[in-house]
Structure 1
Amino acid sequence: MLKLMRLLTVVCLFFGLGTMTYAASPNPVSSAYMQSYFTTIAAASCLGVYLPHTSQEFDYLRSYGWQIESQQGNDGKVELNYAVAKNYFPQINKQIYLVTFRGSASKSDWKINLATKKVNYGGSTLAEMQELAAQPVPKDGAAVHAGFNSYVDAVLRSGVVDENSKLRGLFKRVSEDPDAYLVLTGHSLGGAAATLLGERLASLGMPKEKFVVITFGAPAVGNSAFAEQYGDKIKLLRISNTADPVPGSLQTFFGGYKQFGEPVKYSLSNKISNLQHAMAMYFDYSISEYYKERDRQISMGRLEPVTDRKITKQPVVAVWVNTSDSLKKLAYVTDIKRFVLDEYRKMLPSYIIMERNLPKDAYTTQDLLKLSNEAGAEYMLVCGMDGSQAPKEGYWYLTLEQGLFDKNGRMLTLGAFGRKVSPAVGNIQAAGENLWQAREALCEQLPFIVTQHEAILGY
């Protein structure tokens, strides 16, 4: 993880978005923080694009102002599945566009993956690109994976360029608008598509500083000549992990492929399976790395720490969150309690986080309602989280129990929400789904629950 922190420091201008300053803090927040922030957004979108019409990840992003549209297409040879999103960030005065390509999820996708023959690469128009791809690859010439190339050609035809190979739609807006920026992302096959589309956009005239590519567990897209000639044409953050075979698969099984870009490798715990490619795992790690970078920014005075007490004109809710010892042992990657507390802070206009300095047995030996009332709360919210592992099974259940009481101790709602999950994969995804249901239960009792948020880079 320290390697990642050093890398983020080195590539401080990676996003090309500059730095930002908050009124509460005189020091600018670095591009390393923004990179970490947008990596988590990209990871959430990469999860959501697998089930675009029912995804709670997309619903979550929409609650923070993201406008998301799912795109599907089929030209008879290639099946396209991706999502287009946009959001405005007033702190940096940027309209951010996010294009997310789905990983392998159908027979058509696997046909693309298995078309491993290399084709000639080049051209500055769609016609030139297709003409060159049909020609033999010259000795020492740049070449790319035939399947990935056909996929990206279909993407270009579907809405990226017009009949004259001029950028159109959001790609034209990003290229011409100084306040617009593009993030291309994808997992596995989707990451390969995002990488190659980024290269094609550069060849079509989009300035390098106008976009970034973020991939998770993506295979290489071309040979050594391609990496050497075109690798520096785009800004690529290539995220993998120590147990994912896919990023090195083409080199291992077929040879002649080479990765490029800025590598970030998540170091998985030795308690985790030695074969780990799931996007849910990458999401867990991206959240964990975001917390580390955020804490680093706070330690430097560039961000204000989140507060445990916020009072507005709305009724105050005392929040008690407890996690079991078994949960702490099973959740190897991400601080789930921190994630849950952050979400409660965002949905409650007025709150007091209560349990910070209490002993371990506080939930059984102290009168929580009395303490809540003494703190000035009108409601008390008690949340307990646990993880129980089935005997001789590799999975466990992440559960969240939530109770809401008024100041007189009258129970307003009580519910338990659970998700089956691998110990190291999908913890945040499962916790988020549980919280989504828990929030719905609160909305039925408390009319002031916040369900829509402004996109804020600092929190």
Structure 2
Amino acid sequence: MFTFISLLSLLPAALSAPIFGLGPSTSDDSATGTPTPVSLATVNSTLLRPAQFSRVAYCSSASITSWSCGAPCDALKNITFLQSGGDEGLIPLYYIAHDADEQTLVVAHEGTDPFKFFSLLNDAELALTPLNSSRFPEAANTDIQVHDGFQETFERTADGLLAGVKAGLASTGVTKVAVTGHSLGAALASMTGAMIKDAVDPSIDVSVVTFGLPRGGNEAWANFLDSKLGLTFVTNQHDPIPIVPPKALGFQHSSGEIHIVDDTQQNLVACPGQDNVNCATGNSVIDFDIINHLGPYFDDVTFGSQECAGVLL
């Protein structure tokens, strides 16, 4: 991972090229509302646990199955593993677990780990494509479009994941589903949350909290997420990933951004509107920091397989 980061730090000119989405990220339709502070009590009650579950998704399937992945698993008590899928490469890992303390079914997606080359390829397709209306019927005859590579990756595990969620709801009797993920996993989590919301009884509460989310589709997709989920996504300081792919190619964030202002891990703000220029969208294309993508976010939560037991750095 550190070799990957070092390489990025040597290529600022290349990273600012439009293909990587790091060209100018603002436009006339960016929100300009004033962010408001988020209390640490809110962080601890609503954001910390999803971040901890997202961190676990970077660990090996075997260690998650036995809930023995080291510090990421140790931070979460009274968890029962239910199902996993993917191959931790071309098909990123996901897992489903029962959180007995919160009486919630948790779905967490693995993110783009620089150690795993094939997972990086999923990010390379920047084209917008219509949202699959056979899975999302309300998308039929609309202009909702999503990132082609994200949708293809999502579809590789969607059926098995949804079957696992329905089985988990039936076996545990819980009425809440919490979906989370970091980086690529955040993009997949937004689609997964929308799919689950469509497929389960309306009485089931489905929430989605993500970290380091790239833009996943066009403005119609952003509006769709706003109306269906009320997605929450956390961005960290000068992380460049939330401004990829670029708005210039038609991509747009939904509402719901919470931005970490500095490295104290204590100053967070809620950013009104879509793509607020006072938060991640306003980041400089020169003064970015890829390490901010990994963390720490808050309570020293950092993402990547280096956090897991048995990983040699």
* Pairwise same-fold verdict (TM > 0.5): yes
Partner of 1:285: 297
One of 120, 125, 130 as aligned partner of 1:115: 125
Give the aligned partner of residue 15 of structure 2.
Answer: none
Amino acid across the alignment from 2:69 = S
Match of 1:79 in 2: 91
Q: 1:45 to 1:278 in 2, by over 3 A?
A: farther
CA distance in 1, matches of 2:159, 2:78: 29
Partner residue, 2:148: 146
Aligned counterpart, 1:16: none
| Distance in 2 of aligned mates of 1:225 and 1:117 | 15
Distance in 2 of aligned mates of 1:115 and 1:210: 32
Instruction: Mark the CA change 1:230 to 1:269 in structure 2 (over 3 Å): closer, same or farther.
Output: closer
Per the alignment, residue 258 of structure 1 pairs with: 252
TM-score (norm 1): 0.46
- How many aligned positions are there? 243
Kindly tell me: are residues 430 and 79 of structure 1, through their superposed partners in 2, closer, same or farther at Cα, counting changes over 3 Å?
Answer: closer
* C-alpha distance after superposition, 1:138-182 (max 9, x if no partner): 8x71100111111221222223149xxxx73225668xx5x4211
Is the strand fraction higher in 1 or 2?
A: 1
**Aligned residue among 175, 180, 185 for 1:180:** 175
Letter in 1 for 2:185: G
Q: From 21, 33, 42, give the equivalent of 2:50.
A: 42
- Specify the alignment match of 2:36 in structure 1: 3
Residue 169 of structure 1 corresponds to 167
Distance (Å, rounded) in 1 between the aligned partners of 2:203 and 2:157: 19
**Structure ID, larger Rg:** 1
Superposition RMSD in Å: 3.8
User: Which residue of structure 1 aligns with residue 71 of structure 2?
Assistant: 57
Paired residues of 2:215 and 2:243 also in contact (CA < 8 A): yes
| Alpha-carbon offset, residue 193 of structure 1 | 0.3
Contact persistence 1:124–1:203 (CA under 8 A): no
Alpha-carbon spacing, 1:111–1:250, altered in 2? closer, same or farther (3 Å): same
Match of 1:298 in 2: none
Correspondence 1:233-382 to 2 at 5 A: 233-251=228-246, 255-269=249-263, 274-277=288-291, 281=295, 284-287=296-299
Aligned in 2, Cα 1:171/1:120: closer, same or farther, shift over 3 Å? farther
Question: Structure 2: which 5+ runs fail to align?
Answer: 1-34, 265-286
User: Any residues of structure 2 matched to 1:85-124 within 5 Å, and which?
Assistant: 85-89=97-101, 95-105=103-113, 106-123=116-133
SS of 1:275's partner is coil
Q: Matches of 1:158 and 1:78 in 2, distance apart? A: 16
Instruction: Please say if residues 159 and 169 of structure 1, whose CA atoms lie closer than 8 Å, have aligned partners that are also in contact.
Output: no
Q: What is the CA distance between 1:44 and its match in structure 2?
A: 1.8
Alignment of 1:414-453 (within 5 A): none
Match in the other structure for 1:198: 193
Question: Contact 1:223/1:257 (CA < 8 Å) preserved in 2?
Answer: yes
Secondary structure in 2 matching 1:170: helix
Q: Secondary structure at the match of 1:113?
A: coil
Q: In the alignment, residue 36 of structure 2 is paired with which amino acid? A: K
- Counterpart of 1:67 (choices 80, 85, 91) is 80
- Answering whether residue 214 of structure 2 is matched by residue 219 of structure 1, we say yes
Contact 2:135 2:195 (8 Å CA) reproduced:
no
Rounded Cα–Cα distance in structure 1 between residues aligned with 2:307 and 2:119: 30
- The one-letter amino acid paired with 1:268 is D
Structure 1 residues 80 and 274: alpha-carbon distance in aligned structure 2, compared to 1, 3 A threshold: closer
> For the structure 1 residues 259 and 426, does the alpha-carbon distance in structure 2 shift closer, same or farther, using more than 3 Å as the test?
closer
**Percent of aligned positions that are identical:** 18
Aligned to 2:8: none
